[in-house]
């Protein structure tokens, strides 16, 4: 019987560097590679700055993913493997913002929608994964509406601004230089754009090259 299984490399188990090295290529490339494996009937990939998650529908899905991880030379030390029920529970927690670095952040919902659409366009999803992601996103929206979990800081960027203002006071007119993945640049700009100060984003790789 085919069921959903997943393997997760996230900020809970791995460093940013380990997450970036866990799976090479863009989402479409990973989808194509996973789908080419024996017994995989459906697959979807969530790839963000803080996580790479691979979902499959297959008989003995956890064994399929374990073999995939070995082929990709991703250490099992940084991977969480989930069976069907665990995968569904994780999707619900993820969409609700409970698995994010900033609890309740909204960005993950948009990322889940976008990456699900990429998988659907690539033809790698079917009824089971599409239903699971659709329901999870619906639950995520309801959680935010009923609990207001996202009332305060809703991203790492906005949390950083709140903390900086708490420590340094008014940031108006000051220059700020966050260091982190370039994929986060739009997040920083949205979160910090309302404050009137100069923003220069430095990728972590650039800083490492200076040492």
Catalytic status, residue 49: yes
46, 49, 64, 94: which is the annotated catalytic residue? 49
Within 13 Å and on the Cβ side, how many CA atoms surround 158?
A: 17
Cβ contacts of 181-187, under 8 Å, gap ≥ 24:
181/16, 181/20, 181/49, 183/48, 183/49, 184/49, 184/156, 184/157, 187/107, 187/155, 187/156, 187/157
Residue 18 burial (10 A CB sphere; 0-12, 13-18, 19+): middle
Residues that are catalytic: 49
């Amino acid at each position: 019987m085919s069921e959903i299984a997943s393997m997760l490399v996230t900020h809970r188990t791995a460093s940013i560097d380990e997450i970036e090295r866990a799976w090479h290529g863009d989402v479409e490339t990973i989808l194509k590679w996973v789908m080419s494996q024996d017994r995989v009937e459906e697959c979807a990939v969530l790839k963000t700055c803080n996580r790479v998650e691979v979902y499959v529908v297959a008989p003995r899905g956890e064994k399929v993913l374990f073999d995939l991880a070995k082929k990709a030379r991703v250490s099992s030390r940084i991977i969480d493997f989930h069976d069907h029920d665990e995968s569904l529970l994780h999707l619900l927690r993820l969409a609700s913002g409970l698995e994010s670095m900033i609890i309740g952040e909204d960005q993950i919902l948009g990322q889940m929608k976008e990456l699900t659409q990429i998988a659907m366009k690539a033809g790698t999803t079917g009824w089971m994964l599409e239903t699971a992601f659709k329901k999870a996103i619906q639950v995520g929206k309801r959680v935010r509406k009923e609990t207001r979990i996202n009332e305060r800081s809703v991203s790492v960027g906005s949390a950083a601004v709140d903390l900086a203002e708490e420590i340094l006071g008014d940031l108006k007119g000051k220059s700020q230089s966050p260091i982190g993945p370039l994929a986060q640049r739009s997040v920083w700009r949205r979160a910090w754009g309302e404050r009137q100060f100069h923003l220069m984003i430095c990728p972590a790789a650039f800083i490492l090259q200076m040492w």
